[in-house]
């Protein structure tokens, strides 16, 4: 009798999605992370194949859960924002082999006082090794911006960042003595974290007023002898809502 010895079952590799550390070390760093992430999301809101994430674990190599980095902001062109009814694809982490092998093309890091030079050197080596095309570091405390662009031999330093335009995102960097400004391709500047929050609240209020105005119009339209179906069509409501 020949016994068939089954090979041992390979243990499942776990890819953690958190290290227990906060997203940012201070409010300045957090504000910049949110500003860059949300402005890029707004800029590419109509592009279903551009994914933006903040503080998301990125694993470039299958089966190697020790090879990981957590960019403050990363942009992946060619990967979907989301799928399904809500148009959202929930990613606990970015596992590159599950994303058709597409690496984030653009990465931003916002420095905080706790970042060491050794830590940032390791990040640069990681992004160079695993395919990032553009890498930007901004130190808000020192108002210092640096950038790298992939060349034939890897990531090369961008010698002049003033009015630099990102080849992938087409956004313009405008560092000055008063601080960094970022501009959309249409020339509009990026909104600050406070402005984003204020605009979101104003948009919510406008939506509520518009909804109330539609509902207030229903009695007047009924008095005009319009049918419920006609009112629903005119106001963009369902028959049940009318």
Q: Rounded to the nearest 10 degrees, how much is the dihedral formed by the CA atoms of 192, 195, 196, 202?
A: -170
d(CA 41, CA 90): 16
Q: Is the CB of residue 71 less than 8 Å from the CB of residue 56?
A: yes
Determine the Cα–Cα distance for residues 159 and 3; give it in Å rounded to an integer. Answer: 67
**Is the entire prediction scored with pTM above 0.95?**
no
Which residue shows structure tokens 């940032």? Answer: 120
Q: What integer pLDDT is reported at residue 169 of this predicted model?
A: 98
- The pLDDT score that the predictor gives to residue 25 is 72
Task: Give per-residue pLDDT as tens, 147-165.
Answer: 999 999 999 999 999 999 9
Question: What is the DSSP-derived secondary structure letter of residue 93?
Answer: S
Instruction: Report the half-sphere exposure of 28 (CA within 13 A, side-chain side).
Output: 12
Residue bearing tokens 């049918």 = 227
Q: What is the pLDDT at residue 190?
A: 94
Q: Which two tokens stand for residue 39?
A: 């402005």
Cα separations (Å) of 238 from 47, 217, 231, 241? 29, 14, 9, 5
Q: What is the mean pLDDT of the segment spanning 125-130? A: 98
């Amino acid at each position: 009798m020949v016994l068939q010895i089954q090979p041992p079952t390979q243990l499942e590799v776990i890819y953690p999605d958190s290290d227990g550390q906060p997203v940012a070390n201070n409010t300045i760093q957090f504000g910049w992370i949110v500003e860059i992430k949300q402005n890029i999301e707004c800029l590419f809101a109509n592009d279903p194949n551009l994914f933006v994430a903040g503080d998301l674990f990125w694993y470039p190599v299958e089966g190697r859960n020790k090879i990981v980095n957590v960019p403050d902001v990363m942009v992946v062109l060619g990967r979907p924002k989301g799928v399904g009814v809500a148009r959202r694809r929930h990613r606990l982490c970015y596992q590159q082999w599950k994303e058709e092998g597409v690496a984030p093309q653009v990465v931003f890091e916002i420095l905080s006082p706790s970042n060491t030079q050794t830590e940032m050197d390791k990040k640069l080596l990681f992004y160079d090794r695993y395919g990032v095309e553009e890498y930007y570091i901004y130190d808000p405390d020192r108002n210092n911006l640096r950038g790298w662009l992939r060349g034939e031999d890897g990531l090369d330093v961008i010698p002049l960042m003033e009015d630099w335009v990102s080849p992938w995102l087409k956004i313009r960097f405008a560092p000055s003595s008063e601080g960094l400004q970022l501009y959309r391709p249409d020339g509009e500047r990026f909104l600050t974290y406070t402005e984003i929050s204020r605009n979101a609240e104003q948009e919510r209020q406008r939506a509520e007023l518009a909804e109330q105005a539609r509902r207030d119009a229903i009695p007047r339209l009924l008095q005009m002898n319009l049918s419920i179906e006609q009112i629903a069509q005119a106001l963009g409501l369902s028959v049940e809502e009318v």
